């Protein structure tokens, strides 16, 4: 293979592989973010807010 052939191969493979890696990485990262997003918030009912609400009403 000539030097021109190697240059073409490296440029084209570089473009295609970079595009594929970028897309796959973004999709997989976003999947993690989406999973965090849909997890329910941690809810611990300590009752202090109810007391504060009552105080405000009074």
Partner 1 sequence: MDGAIAWNHTTGVDIDVPRENWASRMGIILAVAGSAVGLGNFLRFPVQAAQNGGGAFMIPYIIALLLLGIPLCWVEWTMGRAAGSRNHGSGPGILNVFWNHRLSRYFGALGIFIPLMIYFYYVYIESWCLAYSWFAISGSLGSAAGSNNAGDFLSAYQGLKENQWFSGISEAYIFFIITFFVNFFFIYLGVAKGIETISKIAMPILVILGIVIMVRVLTLGAPDIAKPDWSVNGGLGFMWNPDFSALADAKVWLAAAGQIFFTTSVGLGLIITYASYLKRDDDVALSGLTSISINEFMEVVIGASIAIPAAFVFFGPVGIRDIAAGGAFNLGFVTMPMVFSQMPMTAALGFMWFFLLFLAGVTSSISMLQPGIAFLEDEFSLSRKQSVGLLSAVSFFAAQPAIFLLDKGVLDLMDFWAGTFAIVLFATGEVIIFGWIYGIDRGFDQLHHGADIRVPKFFKVVIKYVTPAYLLIILGYWSYQSGLDQLLLRKVSAENFPYALGTMLGMALFLAAIIAAVEMAWRRKETS
Please give the residue ranges that form the binding site for partner 1 (CB under 8 A). Answer: 1-2, 4-6, 8-9, 12-13, 15-17, 19-20, 22-24, 26-27, 30-31
What is the closest distance, in whole angstroms, from the C-beta atom of residue 50 to partner 1 in the complex? 36
Place of tokens 């329910």: 40
What is the closest distance, in whole angstroms, from the C-beta atom of residue 38 to partner 1 in the complex? 13
**DSSP symbol at 24:** H
The rounded distance, in Å, linking the Cα atoms of 22 and 20 is 5
What is the closest distance, in whole angstroms, from the C-beta atom of residue 39 to partner 1 in the complex? 17
């Amino acid at each position: 293979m000539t030097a021109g052939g190697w240059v073409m191969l490296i440029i084209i493979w570089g473009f295609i592989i970079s595009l594929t890696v970028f897309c796959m990485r973004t999709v997989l990262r976003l999947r993690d973010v989406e999973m965090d997003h849909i997890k329910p918030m941690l809810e611990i009912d300590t009752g202090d807010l109810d007391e504060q609400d009552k105080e405000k009403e009074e």
